[in-house]
Amino acid sequence: MKDNYYRQLLENNKEWVKKKIDDDPHYFEELSKGQTPPVLWIGCADSRVPANQITGTLPGEIFVHRNIANMVVHTDMNMLSVLDYAVNTLKVHHIIVCGHYGCGGVEAAMHNKSLGLINKWIRNIKEVYQENITELKKLDSDEKRFDRLVELNVIAQVYDLAKTSIVQQSWIDETGLEIHGWVYGLNDGIIKDLKVTMHSTSHLDDIFTLNLKKTQE
Ligand code: ZN
């Protein structure tokens, strides 16, 4: 059964196509003309946090980038290419960093076990832990520390997006781009808005503010 599981996915696909065409015979014809999603989603690769399903959105509505623990790493060409394309070509209005409670990547970062290659990725989360160690140590259980680190990690990634030249150029050009930080609850399906939205007038430490000029029209 498990060996053939992938075949089931192809069957599901056929059913889905049929349903879509039954509802609207021009569905794929229309969708294939192009995309203008208003949102870029940076989420965790976790199979339980699918961007479209949990936000009730359809194909064409969210441009998605997912990796372990929804990270914004400045040397990650994959993330940077997605960000550049989303902001400068698709001209999204919102970037949402969505973490989730119970994130395996964040949990791994809280422990000392060596996990091979993934150590390098997780080290970025360890930095967030270390930067917030005073707040985290005040919490009275590992569970609360875990939940809070998930939130702090999202906040750090929102801030890391704001440090990129791609976002800063967009802000100088007054496009109205906003960055939001959310956390999804695996237990109840609810998304918590951390209310850390950043926009063109948000505070960014001087050292990270790049000397950019408005793009000539
Ligand atoms: Zn995760």
| 69, 102 contact by CB (below 8 A) | no
Same domain, 108 and 87: yes
Ligand 1 centroid distance, CA of 40 (Å): 18
The pair of three-digit structure tokens given for residue 159, joined into one six-digit string:
């801030």
Active site (annotated) includes residue 98: no
Q: Give the tens place of pLDDT for each residue, 88-142.
A: 999 999 999 999 999 999 999 999 999 999 999 999 999 999 999 999 999 999 9
Q: Give the tens place of pLDDT for each residue, 98-109.
A: 999 999 999 999
pLDDT band at 191 (very low <50, low <70, confident <90, very high): very high
Active site (annotated) includes residue 46: yes
Active site (annotated) includes residue 48: yes
Same domain, 92 and 139: yes
Active site (annotated) includes residue 148: no
Query: In terms of DSSP bridges, do strands 39-44 and 62-67 run parallel, antiparallel, or are they unpaired?
Result: parallel
Q: Is residue 213 part of a domain?
A: no
What's the half-sphere exposure (Cβ side, CA atoms, 13 Å) at 171?
A: 22
CATH code for position 130: 3.40.1050.10
Same domain, 9 and 50: no
Which range of residues forms the domain containing residue 168?
Answer: 36-208
Same domain, 25 and 117: no
Q: Which of 30, 85, 88, 32 is nearest to 63 (CA)?
A: 85
Ligand 1 centroid distance, CA of 104 (Å): 5
Same domain, 15 and 70: no
Catalytic residue among 65, 100, 145, 180: 100
Ligand 1 centroid distance, CA of 69 (Å): 5
Q: Which of 142, 133, 108, 134 is nearest to 123 (CA)?
A: 108
Q: Which of 197, 182, 209 is nearest to 62 (CA)?
A: 182
pLDDT at 1 over 60: no
Q: Is residue 216 part of a domain?
A: no
Percent of the chain with pLDDT over 70: 99
Q: Is residue 214 part of a domain?
A: no
Ligand 1 centroid distance, CA of 174 (Å): 33
Same domain, 26 and 43: no
Active site (annotated) includes residue 123: no
Same domain, 76 and 64: yes
Alpha-carbon span 97 to 103, nearest angstrom:
14
Q: Which of 173, 176, 175, 174 is nearest to 215 (CA)?
A: 173
Same domain, 91 and 7: no
Same domain, 8 and 112: no
pLDDT band at 62 (very low <50, low <70, confident <90, very high): very high
Ligand 1 centroid distance, CA of 48 (Å): 9
